[in-house]
Amino acid sequence: MSRLTAIITGSDARLRNAPLEQAVAGLSLTDLLADCDALDAFWRSAENLYERVRALFFLYAIHRFHLPPLLKSEGSTDGDLDATGRIGFEGYAHLLERRFVEAIRVFLAEAQTHGRTDALCSALARGYHQLALQLLADQVRLSVRAVRGNQWMFRTGAADEHPLRMRTELLQMKDGLYPVLHERTAVRMDLSHSSWSDIFFLGMDYPEGARVLNVSINLAVLGRDEEPEPPVEAMLRVIDQPVLRLTSVDLGATVEIHNLEEVFDFARDHLGLLKAGLIAAGIVPIGLEGSGEPLTGVLERLLGPGLGLELVTHVNGIPKGSRLAVSTNLLGSLISVCMRATGQTKALTGELEEGDRRMVAARAILGEWMGGSGGGWQDSGGVWPGIKIIEGCAAGEGDPEEGVSRGRLLPKHTVQDATVISDENRRKLEDSLVLVHGGLAQNVGPILEMVTEKYLLRSGAEWEARQESLKMFEQILSALRSGDVKELGSLTTRHFQGPLQAIIPWATNAFTERLITNMQAEFSEDFWGFWMLGGMSGGGMGFIFAPERKEEASRRLLEVMLAQKKLLQNSLPFAMDPVVYHFAINEAGSFSTLKQGPAALLVPPYYTLVLPSLLRADPRTLGDLRRREIELYDQRTKSESAYQNSVRRVLDNLLPQRAGGVNSNGEELSRLLSRNGFDPKAHEFLRAELQAGRIGLARNQLPTSVRVENVRAGDVMEAERDLTAEDRRRGEAALRAGEVGVITLAAGAASRWTAGAGVVKALHPFCQFAGRHRTFLETHLAKTRKTATEHGAAPLHIITTSYLTYGPISDSLEQDDYFGLRESVALSEGRSIGLRFVPMERDLRFLWEETAQQVLDERQNRMRGSVRQALIKWAKWAGEGSDYTDNMPLQCVHPVGHWYEVPNLLLNGTLARLIEQRPQLKTLLLHNVDTLGANLDPALLGWHRRCGDTLSFEVIPRRLEDRGGGLARVNDQLRLVEGLALAHEEDEFRLSYYNTLTCWIDVDKLLQAFGLSRDDLADENRVSTAVREFSQRLPSYITLKDVKKRWGHGQEDVFPVAQFEKIWGDMSSLPEIQTGFAAVSRLRGQQMKDPAQLDGWLRDGSRDYVDSLCRWS
Amino acid sequence: MTISKAVITAAGPHQQHLLLQTLIDREGRNRKVLGLLLDEITSAGIEQVALVVRPGHEALYQDAIDSAQVKLTFIEQPEPRGYGHAVLCAREFTGDSPFLLMMSDHVYVSDRAGQTCAQQLVQAASAQGQMVSAVQATHESKLAHFGAVSALVHEARERLYRVNRVTEKPSPTEAEQHLMTPGLRNGYYLCFAGMHVLTPLIMELLQERFESLGAEGKLDLSSSLNEAARRARYLALAIQGRRYDLDHRHGVLMAQMAVALDGHYRDELLAGLVELLALTPAKHGAEEIAQA
């Protein structure tokens, strides 16, 4: 048994919890590879799921973090082009298809041939990581299916086998109406935070470490609602048509479902959650999916002939991302009302019994799995009353998990009644805690994966933090029991700043830190603490104050949040304006009432939504039930203000929207376009080309006859091997002489970083350096400051911008006084803008059907398929190739690619001005805003000058994640080639080097290539003609970008839209531009495209490398 | 334990019609359902039978009695207070004796040669000296119609189970959590087959519960059976046979066919059925064929 498998199987806790990094520290490459072989053999034979998964995570971490440095020092393959960056396409294709075991087999076979290269390590790391997560996810799914009470739904394969019947109480009409079963459910907050121990995987492997203090609460929005109410409601009633009528009042969506297929099509509309609820509650058993049964058959069996069911949900204005588990509790509410109605719970009305609550929770997990989402096991806490401890349970005899995992899927809930936490102490908590939604919308998925990974690796600091967190749980519980809310606040703050951030540094952000600092400054001793809800801060958060100042603090907090949002809205992805809540502990949990006779109406906003269409319909088509309902509604509007108010809103909804928003958006869009030099003729030309199919995704590709080959020996300068002391001296001299400048490309909208939220990436405060969050831009300027200090002359630093980024970057620099570099920083204002198009169906299909796509987990794949069908319908409905204008103006336009950012320097006079200031300027280093390691390295600068090339591009040896082209010989010409230009995806996998886009530019030679000289720069016409003519020699690529459209309360839809762009790397394709290529280290060349990269970037030393290049202000 | 008495409840709203329904018996004779039930009872050696009926319905049944072996007593249930109450009405009749309880809307076909379902049950109860209910493994899609038991195997060869819990018309969710019985296929539960041998204990329990009910409360039998399982040994026998519930859509038809297919004219019926099937294609199937 190897030392690592001994850790995994160790019965002694100290051995079992030994951190991997400690176990592999100091091992030689040979020893570590031997350990890898042992682990690889172990996971294949181990019977215990968690032992297999842990072995896989060990293998992942070794390949991701521990082998690459050893390969560099002991097993270098530098310069061996057969090995550098080479990953077989076959293995990659297996990864895409989720055949992880096969992928690993192929990569290992390659390693036998070429040795375990850096590239193969990246591929193996991905394979092992994905396989481990897949095994864990599969186990949760199996466990969900295996829960007793859930299994029958998977067996029911025909309408005749449907075992449920509607309770007779709901089938008995009174006063002409069927009764309404009305469920009201709390949401939950996790007072202990729990260090994410409610992730299913953790609870199932480490049940003793999975504990949370979960509180069911009612909410009221400050300034809108009077008293806190259960925020989540679900209503069910029988209707006289054999259909399923689903309505989400808060999302403004209603649909009548006529066939089973639609029930399983979650992404077809905004009612996926209601459908998941229907299925998880067994009304439409999951086994019926694909059965071809008529829905009427199912309904007849359930309700009787000619009858159907209406299900209505209402979330009382609580926005998405509140970290209060609104969607899980809404699902719980839906499931509860459906289970009650079909006799699956003991009680039809009132509170649920404990066994029934557990069943509802199990079904909610099932529903989340079906919807392709997933929460933690405490999320359905709102179904339970009051305050409870939820903790993992060891799997025992008879549990489906026995022998598979140490813990059970479902945790244990222990309600803390008034004898444990007195009413007075509960009031104290209510009197001090201010709950808020900061407005940030963030994806917590990567955070949860990081937590799982770190737990399974038992990484030293994180494991200690988890133990510390467990101790703090007891202290928090004790503070609550004794009513010491001040101590509670102190503990939650220490918890947030200590263990939570030790486990996940990304749990905090600049917005949160500013809020805490502000509250501390303003309320000093009366600010008792901060508390993070859910996966990460920025959305739902808690601030604890002395009770006598709570009212004042609530108001101030709202003002401060709004002010900070205004300051940061270009940097961070805010989905909505911040809100402050009043809350009260809900002591009933999910609670149901049966409304009969004249009381059998739905909530007033339901009528605001549905009445306009009912009133427009021919009255003769309304059934008796609807007529009676409208009569009763009419009566209620005369006596109840809530119904009265809904009538007013009905009138608003009756008339088509005046579309004030759309008109004003339209005007703003026109202004934006004209201000930024939009060229309508070129736009119309592009549209015609796009609609005619002369340009498009398929047309981006080079002809298939083009020969794409890997570089040859001598094509690329290996920086670590080939740079000389003379190069360094030459570069240092140039720096001292002030002949050098930097161009940071900062026109981008952080499409991938924020999944289309449209913020300024340069201003994203992505990481803490020297004690506070720093933006990408500040990091680049800190490198310039260091260069200036080291060489005695401040290099020029040009920041190129676009319509989107100019104003915010300019304001931000002013605000920070250019970080002390005012004299050497120049902003180049973007002069190019494009208007996005609604995509062509052929391009959507090409992207989704003709290019290799990552296959997702079965359910997520179905969801994605369904979303894609809906998006194709949208494109056809909105008009393929038409202008995309149905969004905020800034989301309708786009920068036209980074190629334009350099010509813009010529067009807007920036370069002319700078040359005038510094006539000695000869060389520019251009880099992307997310290439954090790029700096004015003197040796590379000296090499560029030695070679005398117009452009010198930096490339890095490829890893698996480096997709999108690379350095190639295209018909024997050495050039950079974009991924979207490659006709065969396999070609990319033969390329050793990936383009970093970092590029050294000889200013005069570049001008010459444009047909210009320094003296010509003053001649606007000449410059403009030169740029236009030059631009025509470069291809325009059509790309599809995701943009978010925000609506409702923090809701977001993502649309793929078409835009075009020209790319700087294509400069290397022009024969007259002399271009050189240097292979640099990954630390220098890697780009940060996705926040999920941050953790690995921190752990593999990249962050420290960047820090070492900077001098912070 | 000797069982010499039987009770049939027929006081439900539709039950008199079902009990008077005419079926063709195994020998091809026209018989009332009541007659078939009495045959079943007498086959078990029981001659004293009480029929619990609605007030004034006695005369309806007089003509349907075609068994001379039976001494039939009519007991009126004064008001419809539930199935348990109907049973309780026979307390005076059953006295201190164990008795066979049968429902009036079930017809039985035995799969055990030479032994009716009632015979199997009475024999088991006599041998064990305990309360025994006849049960049948029933698919979960039919749970909404029956009482179900949670039970452990008592004597496997004798098909006897020890009952732990009784639940009336459980949901599949509840059944899966609490009523799984070892040895049964997934999705199958032991459900009552409408036939029990009960002891005076059940009358005591029914009386207790009845007294605790309000003036209009309904008394069910399952709750008292559940209580009986806690107080005494209570067994279930998986009968070798099938029960047909007449009170379903096509219930009478299915019962008729089952009885007939078990009798002398099986071949004649089969031929008729085959002809019927051949002449009556499924409508939507035919449309699909036509479209193709």
Q: Where are the domains of chain B?
A: 5-291
User: Least CA distance to A156: which residue of chain B?
Assistant: B141
Question: Which is it for strands A1075-1079 and A717-718: parallel, antiparallel or unpaired?
Answer: parallel
Interface test with A, best of B141, B171, B173 (most A CBs within 10 A): B173
pLDDT(B286) > 80 = no
Amino acid B135: pLDDT: 97
Contacts of B171 in chain A (CB under 8 A): 163-164, 342-344
Q: Which residues of B touch A335 (CB under 8 A)?
A: none
Name the more confident of A1026 and A410. A1026
Q: What pLDDT is attached to residue A1017?
A: 93
Instruction: Provide the percentage of residues in chain A whose pLDDT is more than 70.
Output: 97
Shortest Cα distance, chain A CAs vs residue B236, angstroms: 23
Distances (CA, A) of A516 to A196, A481, A509: 22, 26, 11
Closest chain B C-alpha to A353 CA, distance in angstroms: 13
State the CB neighbour count (10 A cutoff) for residue A716.
Answer: 24
Q: For residues A996 and A1087, is the Cβ–Cβ distance under 8 A?
A: yes
d(C-alpha A100, C-alpha A91), whole Å = 9
Residues 6+ apart with CB under 8 A from A85: A119, A957, A958, A959, A962, A966, A991, A992, A993, A994
Tell me which residue in B142, B169, B176 faces A152 most closely, judged by beta carbons. B176
What single-letter amino acid sits at A61? A
Residue contact A152–B140, C-beta within 8 A: yes
**Residue B232: Cβ within 10 Å count:** 13
Please report residues of A whose CB lies closer than 8 A to that of B177.
148-149, 355, 359
The pLDDT assigned to A204 comes to 85
| A163·B172 Cβ contact <8 A | yes
Higher pLDDT, B248 or A217: A217
Across the interface, whether the CB atoms of A339 and B173 are under 8 A apart is answered: yes
Residues 6+ apart with CB under 8 A from A449: A133, A1092
A44 CB burial (10 A radius; 0-12, 13-18, 19+): exposed
> Are residues B235 and B197 in contact, defined by beta-carbon separation less than 8 angstroms?
no
Show which residues on chain A lie within 8 Å of chain B, measured between beta carbons.
148-152, 155-156, 160-165, 282, 339, 342-344, 355, 359
Dump pLDDT digits (tens) for B198-234.
Answer: 999 999 999 999 999 888 889 999 999 999 999 999 9
d(CA B244, CA B256) in angstroms, rounded, equals: 9
- The residues facing A977 across adjacent strands are A966
Of B141, B143, B176, the CB nearest to A151: B176
Flag if B171 and A343 touch (Cβ within 8 Å).
yes
CA distance A383 to A512: 30
> For residue range A875-890, what is the model confidence (pLDDT) as tens digits?
999 899 999 998 888 8
Nearest CA in chain A to B188: A152
Buried-exposed string A1091-1112: b where 16+ CB fall within 10 A, e elsewhere: bebbbebebbebbebbbebbeb
Query: For tokens 């190069």, what's the residue?
Result: A727
Cα dihedral value B192, B195, B200, B203, nearest 10: 70
Task: Please say whether the beta carbons of A360 and A352 come within 8 A.
Answer: yes
B5-291 placed in CATH 1.10.3720.10:
no
Domains of chain A: 3-146 (no CATH), 151-585 (3.30.230.120), 601-654 (no CATH), 702-837+883-1109 (3.90.550.10)
Distance from CA of A292 to the nearest CA of B (A): 14
Could you tell me what percent of chain B has a pLDDT over 90?
Answer: 77
Two structure tokens written together for A720: 């670590």
In A, which residues are within 8 Å of B172 by CB distance? 152, 163-164, 282, 344
Backbone angles phi, psi at A215, to 5 degrees: -120, 125
**CA pseudo-torsion sign A114, A115, A117, A122:** positive
Distance from CA of B230 to the nearest CA of A (A): 21
Which candidate in B171, B184, B189, B283 is best for mutational testing of the A interface (most A CBs within 10 A)? B171
State how far the alpha carbon of B239 is from the alpha carbons of A573, B38, B132, B165, B258, in Å.
68, 18, 11, 19, 16
Task: List, for residues A253-312, the tens digit of each pLDDT value.
Answer: 899 999 998 998 887 788 989 999 999 999 999 999 989 899 999 999 999 999 999 999
CA distance B234 to B227: 10
Mean pLDDT of A134-153: 87
Find the residue in A nearest to B175 (Cα): A149
Name the residue facing B173 among A161, A165, A344 (closest C-beta).
A344
SS3 A483: coil
Beta carbons of A163 and B144 less than 8 Å apart = yes
pLDDT of residue A794: 92
Most confident of A609-613, A978-982, B74-78: B74-78
Q: Collect all residues of chain A within an 8 Å Cβ-Cβ radius of residue B184.
A: none
* Side-chain-side CA neighbours of residue A131 (13 Å): 28
Q: Which residue has the tokens 């048994």?
A: A1
**Count of other CB atoms within 10 angstroms of residue A384:** 30
**Confidence at residue A1050, expressed as pLDDT on a 0 to 100 scale:** 67
Q: What is the mean pLDDT of residues A869-878?
A: 90
Buried b or exposed e, range A956-967, using 16+ CB within 10 angstroms: bbbbbebeebbb
* pLDDT at residue A661 tops 50: no
A163: nearest CB among B143, B177, B180 = B143
Q: What is the pTM of this model?
A: 0.85
Mean pLDDT, chain A, as a whole number? 90
| Residue percentage of chain A with pLDDT more than 90 | 62
Q: Which of B175, B177, B186 sits opposite A155 (nearest CB)?
A: B186
- Say whether A935 sits in a helix, a strand or coil: coil
pLDDT value at A658 more than 60:
no
pLDDT at B290: 53
Nearest to A152 among B144, B169, B172 (CB): B172
Q: Dump pLDDT digits (tens) for A804-819.
A: 899 999 999 999 999 9
pLDDT band of residue A757 (cuts 50, 70, 90) is: confident
Contact A149 B177 (CB under 8 A): yes
Q: Is the Cβ pair A163, B174 closer than 8 Å?
A: no
Residue A1014 CA to residue A1019 CA, distance in Å, equals 10
Q: What is the pLDDT of residue B292?
A: 45
Min Cα separation B20/chain A (Å): 27
CA nearest to A835, candidates A888, A789, A895, A880: A895
Dihedral sign of CA atoms A687, A691, A696, A697 in order: positive
> Which residues of B sit within 8 Å Cβ distance of A?
139-144, 169, 171-177, 180, 186-187
How crowded is the C-beta side of A559, counted as CA atoms within 13 Å? Answer: 9
Contact B141 A161 (CB under 8 A): yes
H/E stretch holding A168 reads: helix A168-171
Q: Which of A149, A155, A165 has the CB atom closest to B173's CB atom?
A: A149
Q: Give the closest-approach CA distance of A269 to chain B in angstroms.
A: 30
CA distances from A634 to A51, A120, A601, A737, B231 (A): 64, 71, 11, 84, 57
Q: In the predicted model, is pLDDT for residue B67 greater than 80?
A: no
Torsion of CA A849, A135, A1088, A899, to 10 degrees: -10
Among B139, B174, B186, beta carbon nearest to A344? B174
φ, ψ dihedrals at A1004, nearest 5°? -70, -40
pLDDT at A374: 63
Phi-psi region of B38 (alpha: psi -120 to 50; beta: other; left: phi over 0): alpha
What would the DSSP string read from start to end of A554-589? HHHHHHHHHHHHHHHTTTS-B-S--EEEEEEE-SS-
Alpha carbons within 13 A on the beta-carbon side of A1085? 24
Of B173, B175, B180, the CB nearest to A359: B173
Closest alpha carbon within chain A to B169: A343
Give the tokens for residue A16: 């079992």
Residues of B in contact with A160 (CB under 8 A): 141
**How many CB pairs below 8 A link A and B?**
49
Which among A149, A155, A343 has CB closest to B187? A155
Once rounded to an integer, what is the mean pLDDT over residues A94-114?
92
Q: Is the pLDDT of residue B273 over 90?
A: yes
Q: How far does A879 lie from chain B, in Å, by closest CA? A: 36
pLDDT band at A82 (very low <50, low <70, confident <90, very high): low
Is the CA virtual torsion A581, A584, A589, A595 positive or negative?
negative
Instruction: Measure the CA–CA gap between A714 and A1068, rounded to whole angstroms.
Output: 17
Q: SS3 for A452?
A: helix
Q: What is the pLDDT of residues A1027-1080, one digit of tens each?
A: 989 988 898 899 998 888 877 766 778 899 999 999 999 999 999 999 999 999
Burial (CB < 10 A; 0-12, 13-18, 19+), residue A1012, is: buried
- DSSP string for residues in A700-747: GSPPTTS-EE---TTSSEEHHHH--HHHHHHHHHHHHTT-EEEEEE--
CA A899 to chain CA mean position, Å = 28
Which chain B residues are Cβ-neighbours of A164 within 8 angstroms?
Answer: 144, 171-172
Residue type, A568: L
What is the nearest CA distance from A342 to chain B, expressed in angstroms?
8
Residue type, A753: W
Q: What is the mean pLDDT of the segment spanning B50-63?
A: 88
Q: Which residue of B has its CA nearest to A159?
A: B141
Which residues of chain A make contact with B141, given a CB cutoff of 8 A? 156, 160-163
Q: Which residue in chain B has the smallest CA separation from A398?
A: B177
> Residue A888: its pLDDT value, please?
86
User: Which residues of chain B does A343 touch, with a Cβ-Cβ cutoff of 8 Å?
Assistant: 169, 171
Most B CBs within 10 Å, among A147, A161, A345, to test the B interface: A161
Chain A contacts of B142, Cβ < 8 Å? 163
**Structure ipTM:** 0.84
The minimal CB distance from B141 to the residues A151, A163, A339 is found for A163
